Amino acid sequence: MKQGNKNRIKKDPPMRPNRPEIRQTKLAGGDFVDKLCAYRDHNAQVLFASLGRLVGSPFTSMMTIAVLAIAITLASGFYIFVKNVQQLAGNLETSNQISLFLKDEMTEAQAHKLAESIRQNSSIQSVAVITKEQALEEFKTYSGFGSAINALKKNPLPIVLLVLPKHMLDDKQALTKLEQGFQQTQGVDFVQMDLQWVERLQAIIALAKLFAALLNTLLGAAVLFIIGNTIRLELHNRHDEVVIAKLVGATHAFIRRPFLYTGFWIGFISGVLAWFVVAILMLVLRAPVEKLSGLYDEGFHLLFLNVTETLVMILLASGLGVLGAWGVVAGQLQSTKLE
Amino acid sequence: MIKFVNVNKRYPETGDVLRNISFHLRRGEMAFLTGHSGAGKSTMLRLIATMERASRGQVLLDGQDLGQVKENQLPFIRRKMGFIYQDYKLLKDRTVFDNVALPLVIAGFGHHEITRRVRAALDKVSLTGKEKKYPLALSGGEQQRVGIARAVVNKPPIIVADEPTGNLDPCLSSEIMCLFGQFQQVGVTVLIATHDISLISQLNRRVLKLDHGQLVSG
């Protein structure tokens, strides 16, 4: 054996000039294209090896992924909730209508006369009169309290004038002045500006949005920490490997890579799983919501995540995975002692 | 190739482990590093391996002062050296092939080149046909030879071995020493830490002897 080996080794040096690309330099390992191919192959190999490791310990992986999927589902849930409530408000957004509830003693003829006088005002676009009967009919149809109303002896609803001002939406002061004017008009009991309601609703929605954003930030942080902790354990389990790789000249980037891919996979799988959980929850909720919506004016349909939102959700989860892994590995590599 | 100039190494817990060490190992030279346990052999190897930095003095590798090298450049210094450890430091969950291939993968070699070189290295240590085995399925001597194959697969100009024959029987030991001799013949600088006196006398090479942190011969 020794003799054979000796011959082989002695033959080695003359081989080198024929292979000038293999040199002991910082960029050793062939020309640029070879290097790029090797880099790509290595990354692909590490990508699937990381997935393999996760599949190799299914119980631990599934526990982590389940917790993450729940967190991501909650975050998506808040998002979908806000999105749906927003849709509800969207239907009302353009309304700057003013409702004048007339006093009970006003007759229909008086109401029409009042409507006519309001129409003279240059800032008013149109006035519609809703009689007591019309109002009752509408209430029965949309409120869902039809039979309760039937039980009443007398129609309790007043005559309503629906006043639509001209381009008033952006001029609040003029609108308020108009409202005050109506308030003092003879025969008007109560003035209701739809805009006020829209504003209130929008304020509530803005608050809900902010609340959801805060909660989602916290959930994002939770995802980051859970992934970070998982990677920390993984790093601990593979400590020997890290040390050996370091000793034979691995850069931090090389050592970091498999852990970043592990973080990516955990985030990605959790994101996809969360999508399915959200889909199932939405399927469960859909029928009751549609039923409720049907009891009103059917202008509301439950919105789910569209393609872009789904992609963003999964990308965000994967991104958090990589980020969590990065933070932990970067911190730990600095403190890894070689022994 | 390896040059120590007035090197001191002090640990806060134990005080001076190496004191005023100076020597120069030239390119293609082979030397033994010896001394009683605790004399500072391992510390010296750790300095060469850039696992530690000298407290005082200079450690030069191929003319480069290791004390001046930035942290992010250390991997590239380590790639110039093939290290062989007493405890082999093999990855137990990887095959022999993957273990030997590690330095090449790290250096960014392509698949074909890796296969070619790993085969050649395994052939050199007479482990052909064991590529697919796992380290724990091999004997101590075979594991040591996997470690040697890994150290030389990247054709480094320096090979450093820490007690490479510590767990081996005399027959295997002399075989492995023979292997080191072959590496030296092709121009590799070889430094072997050992306290196997019989082996040292067999080979008749330069001996660096440490005693309580000081170089007493070499």
Q: What is the pTM of this model?
A: 0.76
- For tokens 């025969």, name the residue: A187
Residues from chain A contacting residue B119 (CB–CB below 8 Å): none
Please report the pLDDT score of residue A16 as a whole number: 39
Say how far residue B52 (Cα) sits from the centre of its chain. Answer: 15
Mean pLDDT for all residues in chain A: 81
Interface of B with A in 20-49 (CB under 8 A): 49
ipTM of the complex: 0.90
Interface test with A, best of B46, B48, B79, B123 (most A CBs within 10 A): B79
Please report the pLDDT score of residue B141 as a whole number: 85
pLDDT at residue B218 is higher than 60? yes
Establish if A236 touches chain B: CB-CB under 8 angstroms. Answer: no
Establish if A287 touches chain B: CB-CB under 8 angstroms. Answer: no
Across the range A53-82, mean pLDDT stands at: 91
In whole angstroms, give the CA distance from residue A78 to residue A83: 9
Across the range A166-170, mean pLDDT stands at: 59
Contact A10 B124 (CB under 8 A): no
Find the largest Cα–Cα distance for chain A. Answer: 123
Q: Quick one: closest CA in A to B180, which residue?
A: A6
Across the range B87-106, mean pLDDT stands at: 93
Q: Model confidence at A26, in pLDDT bands (50, 70, 90)?
A: very low
In whole angstroms, give the CA distance from residue A30 to residue B177: 32
Establish if B132 touches chain A: CB-CB under 8 angstroms. Answer: no
Residue with the bigger pLDDT between A94 and B139: it is B139
pLDDT at residue A3 is higher than 80? no
Query: How is residue A280 written in tokens?
Result: 């199932």
Across the range A128-150, mean pLDDT stands at: 76
In whole angstroms, give the CA distance from residue B122 to residue B115: 11
Dump pLDDT digits (tens) for A198-244: 777 778 888 988 999 999 999 999 999 999 999 999 999 999 899 99
CA angle centred on A244, ends A241 and A245, rounded to 5°: 80
Q: Model confidence at A268, in pLDDT bands (50, 70, 90)?
A: very high
Please report the pLDDT score of residue A258 as a whole number: 93
Q: Model confidence at A103, in pLDDT bands (50, 70, 90)?
A: confident
- What strands lie across the sheet with B206-211, from one edge to the other? B81-84, B158-162, B189-193, B30-35, B206-211, B214-217
Establish if B87 touches chain A: CB-CB under 8 angstroms. Answer: no
Residue with the bigger pLDDT between B169 and B44: it is B44
Q: Quick one: closest CA in A to B110, which residue?
A: A38
Please report the pLDDT score of residue A297 as a whole number: 63
Across the range B180-184, mean pLDDT stands at: 90
pLDDT at residue A270 is higher than 90? yes
CA distance B91 to chain A (A): 6
Residue with the bigger pLDDT between B154 and A30: it is B154
Q: Model confidence at A12, in pLDDT bands (50, 70, 90)?
A: very low
Establish if B69 touches chain A: CB-CB under 8 angstroms. Answer: no
A46, A261 in Cβ contact below 8 A? yes
Across the range B168-192, mean pLDDT stands at: 87
Q: Among A60-74, A125-139, A242-256, whose mean pLDDT is lowest?
A: A125-139
Q: Model confidence at A7, in pLDDT bands (50, 70, 90)?
A: very low
pLDDT at residue A49 is higher than 90? no
Say what percent of chain A tops pLDDT 90.
Answer: 33
Mean pLDDT for all residues in chain B: 89
Please report the pLDDT score of residue A11 as a whole number: 38
Domains and CATH numbers, chain A: 32-91+200-335 (no CATH), 98-167 (3.30.70.3040)
Contact B104 A1 (CB under 8 A): no
Establish if A41 touches chain B: CB-CB under 8 angstroms. Answer: yes
Helices (H), chain B: 41-48, 74-78, 96-107, 111-124, 140-152, 170-185, 197-203
Report helix, strand and coil shares of chain A as percent, to nearest 5: 70, 5, 20
Contact B110 A41 (CB under 8 A): yes
Dump pLDDT digits (tens) for A283-298: 999 888 888 877 776 6
Query: How is residue B32 written in tokens?
Result: 């033994």
Cβ-defined contacts of A133-142 (< 8 Å, 24+)? A135/A159, A135/A160, A142/A296, A142/A297
Residues from chain B contacting residue A257 (CB–CB below 8 Å): none
Q: Residue A116's CB: how many other CB atoms inside 10 A?
A: 11
What count of residues does chain A have?
A: 339
Establish if A239 touches chain B: CB-CB under 8 angstroms. Answer: no
